[in-house]
A and B are shown apart, each in its own frame.
Chain A
Amino acid sequence: MNTANPKPDLNRRAFLKVSILASGALAVGVCWGSPLSANEMEGDLWTPNLYVHINRDGTVTIVSKNPEAGQGVKTAFPMVVAECLEVDWNDVSVEQAPLDTRYGRQVVGGSRGTPDGWDDLRVAGTGALYMLTAAAAEKWSVPAAECSAKSGVIYHAASGRSVPYAELLDGAAALPVPDVSALRLKSRPEDFKLLGRFVPGVDNHKILTGQGLYAADTRLNGMLYAVYEKCPTFGGKVRKANVEEIRKLSGVTHAFVVEGTDNLTGLLPGVAIVAETWWEASTAREKLQVDWETSHSDSTADYDRQALALASEPGETMRSDGDVDGAFDSATRVVEASYYYPFVSHANMEPQNCTAVYHESGRMELWAPSQNPKSGRTLVSRTLGIPEDQVEVNLPRIGGGFGRKLISDFMVECAWIAREVRRPVQLQWTREDDMRHDFYRPAGWHHFKAGIDDGGRMVAFDHHFITFGRNGKTISGAGLAPNHYPAGLVPNFRLRQSIIESNVPTGPWRSPGHSAYCFAYQSFFDEVALAGDRDPLEFRLDLLSRAYGEPPLDLERTSGTLRMAAEKAGWGRNPGANRGLGMAFHFDHGGFVSHVAQVVADGSRIKVEKVWSGIDVGPVINLSGASNQVEGAVVDALSTAQLEITFANGATEQSNFSDYDLLRINQAPEVECHFIQSDFPPMGLGEPPIAPATPAITNAIFAATGKRIRELPFSRSGIVA
């Protein structure tokens, strides 16, 4: 499972396609499919995705297919093409693709952009270079093997000749395309010229000068602005609303009830108010009176009561290895502790929004900050009964996603309103809408019991996980893989699970699950290490030195990151008065990350001074983007460890940054990133760095203060950051 590093299977997937565009540019694309259907390549199905355009003026345009949400893909992907094509980065411009099936997966999620794109991007760049080289070789009547390329020029060293790519476009287009399996793709860090360097983001100039990049920056002729009121209680329906009165208010053009559907990730029932400006729609909303029909009354207090009652029950056994009870009987010592983390919100700076036009032809056009525009298109298509090929989705820059915008409820709301009013509409949620209608990261309780032998080695592990579900099945973000470590690292292991029924909408939150439960596991490991009088680093390296059955993660690569972080942090040194060091390792979404945190304490007030990170995601593509993700994930972890979402009467109690106050600059630690370069295929970094950051910090708090954080947010444990 987790350890697999899939080998590229190029023959099965990729074909090159080359053509000359009307502009005269040479366009090189990659198509997918099986070689058996290669004879269909001229059909529409085989229209290539046109990753690369080599223009007549010598510049190169590279298309970025995935939405950009700050994870850096819009810079990283073109860098891969430029590396393989041997062109200068300054000669490259980047174009954002719309949603288009020719590009395959277009999702920001699961840290999968990089591993999914790696082969095709290299094929496009390398294939284009292959053809340009062949064109030069033909022109000079020399073997292609004698030619080399650098900075957009092909050289023949023996005869001292050279020719820029721009003069080879027609020649290259006339040649047969190479078999993809014949291409030699760069894969080793030592071969890279551009990859691994610190490259600023391609949208920086637009961001720094305030040019419109985001979905809500879309401005269309005759556009109206909308707000959409949904029931504060999850699952509520509209009985009636004073829409006639609302329609009379200043600037309001439309006000109507939307019946909606039962799909909790789709079009929820509500009331739309549309006006000439967003401010007028929002002001009119203050006068809106809705009679809601509600049936749910979920509350945090009730969840807590249920969790307490379930803790003394056995739960459902999800996995059992060895003889757990026997091992506890013969253990030298038994350590028990319970951990808790709350629900949390995504709280992207850009609240959900969407812009839509319903054209007279029946075509729906959307500008959506969606992390998964394809699923958003399907949702719009099914809910409105518009064929998918009549739903066009543009992919503006996303103002933060973190998993929230994998669910495209805002798209279907806007599409519905746009069809109703027959004018371009921009729907903008308020911050309060955003916080009250999130798909939250679920809370969880972990009751741990570990048995250690004379040497302090963990020989038995019993874990009772209390989580959330609906109809007896865990809900999104609330599951725990039975083969998650320490399963496979301890000879006697048992995982039990109990479920609390919940009506709260939950969903993926940056590194779903991992970002929550890693805190519990890695904090408890520290407790077990210290109970056996062992150093937390030595204990962890020993834990990672053997597996029982299939290893739950790559032991060598995980240990490597731990050693790296420890060495750079100077693990074992005395950090000074009121200071402490803490560490944690983790593996998720293909990436191995360990952190060491240093905390200074003044009584119960703490500050995280610095974090050292050891990271192994294979070769780094953009050093800036990669370290930005690590730095941001550490800040995110420290921020989220101080926050909680609570419920009362079936509704969310928090509403804005006033009661869900994200971390500010004064608390942000310095983060030092150390990447272990390897020639494993590169993996994404949006998620892997966050999970181990929380326990590295809480373990450092223990080292500095003697206070073990077993509950989040920090305030529940009497700690102030």
Chain B
Amino acid sequence: MSQVNLRINGENHTLDLPPDMPLLWALRDKLNLVGTKYSCGIGICGSCTVLVDGLPMRSCTLPAAGLAGSEITTIEGFAPDGDHPVQKAWNEEDAPQCGYCQGGQILTAAALLKEKPNPSDGDIDEAMYGVVCRCGTYPRIRKAIKRAAAYAATEGGDV
């Protein structure tokens, strides 16, 4: 066990973790933050995506011990009221089917829009390529990202 200090969703946590424990399992099994999902375990499907200093990262392969000093945002802490333009657009397009991958989709989309407030189809393909949806909600994810971009543009909102 080693002691690790993590800053997650704006709160500081000191955890005793097994060496090499990925962030995903620290979140799920130590902090009961279960919104971040396990699916492939090798960092290629994106269900476990969290934001580390604003950038989408794969928590299933990211050792928690290396994250001291970083600001970690999980889907629970992203916008708990669900009023972020990405969440509103996601609901209005009714993007989810089973919903299991959607936390990873939303955080990845939010990071894209932060960088490119008006993304092209090519930008969307590039940014979202790494997040797999087995239900095939991709057409709606594309629409939802465009809707969120339009929200931010018209409301002057911060995406």
Contact = CB atoms under 8 A, between A and B. Distances in A.
Interface of A: 69-72, 198-201, 203-205, 207-214, 216-217, 219, 225, 250-251, 276-280, 283, 347-351, 397-402, 428, 430-431, 624-625, 628-629, 631-636, 639, 656-658, 662-666, 668-671
Interface in B94-114: 94, 96-103, 106
Most buried by A among B36, B90, B133, B136: B136
Contacts of A283: 18, 20
Interface in B53-83: 74-76, 78-82
Contacts of A400: 97-98, 100, 134-135
A279 B94 contact: no
B139 A351 contact: no
Given A209-B87, A624-B94, A633-B136, A666 B29 contact: no
B39 interface: yes
Nearest to B42: A656
Q: Give the top 3 A-B pairs by smallest Cβ distance, nearest first.
A: A210-B35, A635-B136, A70-B98
B158 interface: no
Among the interface residues A208, A639, A657, which one has the most CB atoms of the partner chain B within 10 A?
Answer: A208
Interface string B105-139: 01000000000000000001100111111111111
B38 A428 contact: yes
A70 B100 CA distance: 9
A574 to B, nearest CB: 24
Given A207-B103, A350-B39, A431-B42, 18 more contacts: A70-B97, A201-B94, A205-B82, A209-B35, A213-B99, A250-B1, A276-B29, A277-B25, A283-B18, A348-B98, A348-B134, A399-B99, A428-B38, A629-B97, A631-B140, A657-B42, A662-B134, A668-B139
Of A628, A629, A634, most buried by chain B (CB within 10 Å of CB) is A628
B153 interface: no
A349 B21 contact: no
Nearest to B81: A209
B136 A636 contact: yes
B136 A639 contact: yes
17 contacts: A204-B96, A207-B96, A207-B99, A207-B103, A209-B79, A211-B76, A213-B99, A214-B37, A216-B34, A277-B29, A400-B97, A400-B100, A401-B98, A624-B94, A657-B40, A657-B132, A664-B138
Contacts of A69: 98
A250 B18 contact: yes
Contacts of B106: 208
B80 to A, nearest CB: 6
B38 A211 contact: no
B34 A212 contact: yes
Contacts of A631: 136-137, 139-140
B100 A214 contact: yes
A210 B38 contact: no
B82 A665 contact: no
Contacts of B129: 664-666
Contact of B41 (A212, A280, A402, A430): A430
A669 B44 CA distance: 22
A670 B142 CA distance: 10
Contact of A225 (B29, B87, B99): B29
Residue among A283, A350, A633 with the most chain B CB within 10 A? A350
A204 B99 CA distance: 8
Contact of B74 (A210, A632, A656): A210
Contacts of A225: 29
A670 B141 CA distance: 11
A671 B92 contact: no
A656 B40 contact: yes
Contacts of A624: 94
Contacts of B97: 70-72, 400, 628-629, 632
A401 B99 CA distance: 12
Contacts of B76: 209-211
B14 interface: no
Given A205-B82, A349-B101, A431 B40 contact: yes
Nearest to A429: B38
Contacts of A635: 136, 138-139
Most chain B beta-carbon contacts within 10 A, residue among A71, A72, A431, A625? A431
A208 B21 contact: no
B91 A208 contact: yes
A295 B121 CA distance: 52
User: Interface size for chain B: under 10, 10 to 19, 20 to 34, or 35 or more residues?
Assistant: 35 or more
Contacts of B103: 207, 210
A188 to B, nearest CB: 25
B126 to A, nearest CB: 8
B44 A632 contact: no
Contact of B98 (A399, A625, A669): A399
Contacts of A207: 96, 99, 102-103
B138 A665 contact: yes
A663 B102 CA distance: 16
A184 B74 CA distance: 50
A347 B99 contact: no
Contacts of A280: 18
Given A663-B136, A668-B139, A279 B102 contact: no
Contact of B34 (A72, A219, A251): A219
Contact of A398 (B32, B79, B98): B98
Given A70-B98, A279-B18, A399-B98, A212 B35 contact: yes
A188 B153 CA distance: 42
B146 to A, nearest CB: 13
Nearest to B76: A210
B156 to A, nearest CB: 22
B29 A349 contact: no
B29 A351 contact: no
Nearest to A430: B41
Contacts of A350: 37, 39, 98, 100
Contact of B32 (A219, A431, A632): A219
Given A631-B136, A656-B42, A658-B42, A349 B96 contact: no
B136 A632 contact: yes
Nearest to A435: B40
B99 A70 contact: yes
Nearest to B143: A670
A533 to B, nearest CB: 36
Contact of A399 (B29, B33, B100, B124): B100
B28 interface: yes
A631 B95 CA distance: 11
A70 B124 CA distance: 24
Contact of B39 (A205, A431, A658, A665): A431
Contact of B87 (A208, A276, A634): A208
A354 to B, nearest CB: 14
A662 to B, nearest CB: 5
A200 B137 contact: no
Most buried by A among B45, B92, B124: B45
A209 B44 contact: no
B8 to A, nearest CB: 12
A207 B106 CA distance: 10
A279 B29 contact: yes
A665 B32 contact: no
Contacts of B80: 209
A400 B103 CA distance: 15
A662 B39 CA distance: 13
A210 B124 CA distance: 22
B35 A211 contact: yes
Contacts of A428: 38
